[in-house]
Structure 1
Amino acid sequence: MLNLTTPALLFPAISLLLLAYTNRYLALASIIRNLYDDYQQTPSDKLVRQIGNLRRRIALIKWMQSMGVGSLFLCVVAMFQIYTGWPQAAQITFGTSLLLLISSLGMSLLELRMSTDALNILLSDLVAAERARDKSPR
């Protein structure tokens, strides 16, 4: 049987998760602004591709945040339903809240992979530049 404390346990976790998502969003927004300034000074296809990748990541973070907020909202609704004596509705609402949280976490994992892939591209450029430097006559 679901009681008031069960949905309430998710409050701190979801709140911290939303804070982490917001921090990622702000970091990406700063990177995009810097890349945009770089592009204004020296247009480059590579910068356009990086900005495109960041645009997709920002969209994912928007969905991650939306699902996290939806999860928190449904937790509150489930608590209200428990409080007013609707336990079956509360179980369905809380279950839906958990599904939204799982979706949000899955999107977070996907965004993390995209971030790692972008970093690996930059690292491969550094490795290629290092190899070219080592092969050049001194």
Structure 2
Amino acid sequence: MRVSVHRSWPGVGETMVAGETDLRRLLAGLDPLLHEDEYVFVTSRDRETPAGVEPVLVFEETEGRTLVLPRAQAEKAGLDGVFPSAWITLRIHSSLEAVGMMAAVTAALAEAGISCNAVSAFYHDHLFVPRDRAGDAIAVLRDLAG
């Protein structure tokens, strides 16, 4: 069942469309995109984003702010990054209410011995996998898509 709920953004003339919820369609349409840079995770207790840093992800935790950013930016800013990663975007527009897609994706990667940090955003799901396993991860995702 495809859900296509149209809602207007307050004050904006555009509509937003809920994404796909059918697990078969979700998996068939994964269409993984491997981003070029190498990304790292850093943390900051002062909750400030350093100048010259443009994170692709910011998450607030009790212990501090987590940033995911290109490794070169982290090094230039003198930030110690961990988990050198490849960033993969699953280009299917998945619903935030979809059931099972990320479970299937992360289980397939786990079976291949590939660690994964997954993030769901409004339109797409994103995976951060070890940089040296990026090609393997793409192959697993393509196999999963059939």
- For the aligned pair, the TM-score class normalised by the smaller chain equals under 0.3
Greater relative contact order (CA < 8 Å, ≥ 6 in sequence): 1
Higher Cα Rg: structure 1 or 2?
Answer: 1
Q: TM-score if structure 1 supplies the norm length? A: 0.23
Higher strand share: 2
Q: TM-score if structure 2 supplies the norm length? A: 0.22
